[in-house]
Structure 1
Amino acid sequence: MKHALLIAAALAAGLPALPAAAQVGTATAASPGDPTARPFVEKLVNDGFAVLRDKSLGKQAARAKFRTMLTQNVALDDIGMRLIRRQKATLTPAQLEAYRAAFPEFVLNAYADRLYDYADARVQVQRTLGRGAFTEVYTRVTRPSAQPIDTIWQVKSAGGKLMVNNLVVAGVNLSLTQEADFASYITKNGFDALVAFMKSANAKSVAAR
């Protein structure tokens, strides 16, 4: 697929910010939003770097740690359902169940091995901004011999726990971009083919470990 999800990659590196005019939600009098969002993102990033830089971990052990981080800190089911919101009404319960089962591992497999390219990066949180039910956490990523990259993480409270709900990259809302990518694939190949593609990618990743 043209666009792979960047959720896992963002655990190790921030992503360029979406222009203010295109951001989702409305800022409320420059409110900083949830005060716990900043330490939440800081911990998430630091934990990601700890995995990347732990030389004692093999790839399988590192992937297991990233899988735990994703499931505990990213609203994967909400994001996954958002990506197929236009097709959801036409799907059977079995199709939805198969998609939901394949989606988290697909996210992990898309970027787990690429995370190591960012092991030398540093991420600094700059500010937070409340936007309705969400808090945007702005960070700056620096790498040796590279231009700094500004980042936005969209964080929400789900059941009393903070979760990453969306990311933005190079002026593009990642959820909207991936939704369009999935929709195009489904139009050409059908929904079952999308799920089969995700399962195939997951199986290939397991075989390669």
Structure 2
Amino acid sequence: MQTSIPRRHALALLAATAAAMPVASAWAVDAGAQARSFVTMFGNKLVGVVNSDISLEKKKQDILPLLEQYVDVDAIGRYCLGRYWRTATPEQQTRYIKLFHQVLVNAITDKIGDYRGVTFVVGSSAPAGEDTAVSTVINRPGQPGADTQWIISTTSGSPKVVDVVGEGASLRLTQRQDYGSFIARNGGNVDALLHALDKQIANHH
């Protein structure tokens, strides 16, 4: 079972209908500008930590509040559980969200040591359903630029990252498929996934 958070993504971007073009276009420009500004701010903070001369352990500590503030981990977690979120008991939901936070944090902080001298360029934005997709190119020394999309939602009341698109696959969609397949193989038992996540966290170094 794969319980790590992949960095790949595939997401279809939705266009505004012709009939609503004037209103939709005005909304898209405003939402797109706000989303690009948010990604620029969040990205600069992340890069500032990643490129700093502090210890790896301190980098991990400094990344945590940024993730909690600017990434809607609860929403990503609910999405990743898919239809099983509705069948889970309130106790299972609470436990799952807590475990998912730790799994996601581990997956992200484990990668920090692989990055140094990172720069990024914010490009265009486009509607992605009710959210906004912001294109960026992430550059690392000696490697080709990585085209990455950040899916930004404002449903929580402020802009937050709800997905990352890279290498043609969606972080949350890929993870939902992994979790769904695992639970299905275990007779639809959500507790089986919770046990697996518990074990993954316990074995994390």
Pair in the same fold by TM > 0.5: yes
- Supply the distance in 2 between the matched residues of 1:40 and 1:133 (Cα, whole angstroms): 17
- Supply the distance in 1 between the matched residues of 2:36 and 2:170 (Cα, whole angstroms): 21
Q: Which residue number in structure 1 is paired with residue 202 of structure 2?
A: 203
Q: Which residue number in structure 2 is paired with residue 41 of structure 1?
A: 39
Secondary structure at the residue paired with 1:161?
Answer: coil
- Structure 1: runs of 5 or more not aligned: 7-14
Q: Which residue number in structure 1 is paired with residue 162 of structure 2?
A: 165
**CA-to-aligned-CA distance 1:72-100 (integer Å, 9 cap, x gap):** 11111111111112112322111111101
**CA-to-aligned-CA distance 1:51-90 (integer Å, 9 cap, x gap):** 222223451x322222211111111111111111211232
Secondary structure at the residue paired with 2:159?
Answer: strand
Identity of aligned residues (%): 27
TM-score, with normalisation over the residues of structure 1? 0.81
- Structure 2: runs of 5 or more not aligned: 17-23
* Range with greater deviation from structure 2 (100-109 or 44-53): 44-53
TM-score, with normalisation over the residues of structure 2? 0.82
Q: Runs ≥4 in structure 1, deviation > 3 angstroms?
A: 15-18, 27-33
One-letter amino acid matched to 1:54: S
Q: Which residue number in structure 2 is paired with residue 32 of structure 1?
A: 29
- Supply the distance in 1 between the matched residues of 2:111 and 2:12 (Cα, whole angstroms): 27
RMSD of aligned residue pairs (Cα, Å): 2.4
Q: Is the 8 A contact 1:128 1:136 kept in 2?
A: yes
One-letter amino acid matched to 1:155: I
Pick from 38, 50, 53: which aligns with 1:52? Answer: 50
Q: Which residue number in structure 2 is paired with residue 152 of structure 1?
A: 149
1:96 aligns with 2:93: yes
- Supply the distance in 1 between the matched residues of 2:60 and 2:140 (Cα, whole angstroms): 23
Secondary structure at the residue paired with 1:106?
Answer: helix
Q: Is the 8 A contact 1:33 1:130 kept in 2?
A: no
- Which aligned pairs between 1:5-84 and structure 2 lie closer than 5 A? 5-6=5-6, 18=10, 22-27=11-16, 28-29=24-25, 31-34=28-31, 35-59=33-57, 61-84=58-81
Q: Which residue number in structure 2 is paired with residue 121 of structure 1?
A: 118
TM superposition shift of 1:200 = 2.5
* Range with greater deviation from structure 2 (113-122 or 103-112): 113-122
State the number of aligned residues.
194
One-letter amino acid matched to 1:65: D
- Supply the distance in 2 between the matched residues of 1:82 and 1:54 (Cα, whole angstroms): 33
